[in-house]
Amino acid sequence: MKTFPLPEPCGLRPIRPLGLLETGGWRIKTYGIAHGRALPRPELVAAARALAATAFPAPAEGPGRYGVGYLGIHDGRGAAWVFADWWEGENELRHRVFIAPAEHPTALEEHTHTSLTACVWDLRVMCFERGAWLAHCLRNLAGRPDLDAYLADTLSEDA
């Protein structure tokens, strides 16, 4: 059996909603994920929220863009991660990744160009958001997307 070394046992990480952020016409669900603490450090949360003003495209609404998305703020073991995702073209997810050293969590730099997508905890948020988008927007029994219901549906768990 092939294997690889782990630096530490894989424990649970809290994933918590941090509220709705409104910036530049966008309504953005905000999530916190943390390693070894209940929530991301406040300075990382503040830097990520400030970054959201430029991470999401302008205008927020237009042909095929609905002005809704989510922001993941992950205070990880070795780095601080922020991902900015939004729905476009009915069923497409757009994704940007920003990383900072753990010791300088406000020094976020874009890493989207590296092809890095997400870690397993970030993917849990993305998976939940896919389900929420399907339930409230694409498969809504009323026959029309309900963006307010989508924004109200958030994930809170230890994953």
What's the chain look like in SS3?
CCCCCCCCCCCCCEEEEEEEEEECCEEEEEEEEECCCCCCCHHHHHHHHHHHHHHCCCCCEECCEEEEEEEEEEECCCEEEEEEEEEECCCEEEEEEEEEECCCCCCCEECHHHCCCCCHHHHHHHHHHHHHHHHHHHCCCCCCCCHHHHHHCCCCEEC
- The residue-averaged pLDDT of 47-60 equals 98
Summarised one tens digit per residue, pLDDT across range 134-149 is 999 999 877 899 999 9
Where does the pLDDT of residue 7 fall: very low under 50, low under 70, confident under 90, or very high at 90 and above?
A: confident
Average pLDDT taken over every residue of the chain: 96
- What is the pLDDT, as a whole number, of residue 66? 97
Tell me phi and psi for residue 57, to 5 degrees: -70, 160
Confidence of residue 41 (pLDDT cuts 50, 70, 90): very high
Q: How confident is the model at residue 16 (pLDDT cuts 50, 70, 90)?
A: very high
| 30 band by pLDDT with thresholds 50, 70 and 90 | very high
SS3 19: strand
**Residues paired with residue 29 on neighbouring β-strands, in sequence order:** 20, 70
For a pLDDT cut of 70, what percent of the chain falls above it? 100
Output the CA angle 149-119-54, nearest 5 degrees. Answer: 60
pLDDT at 9: 82
pTM of the entire predicted model: 0.95
Closest CA to 153 of 135, 126, 141: 135
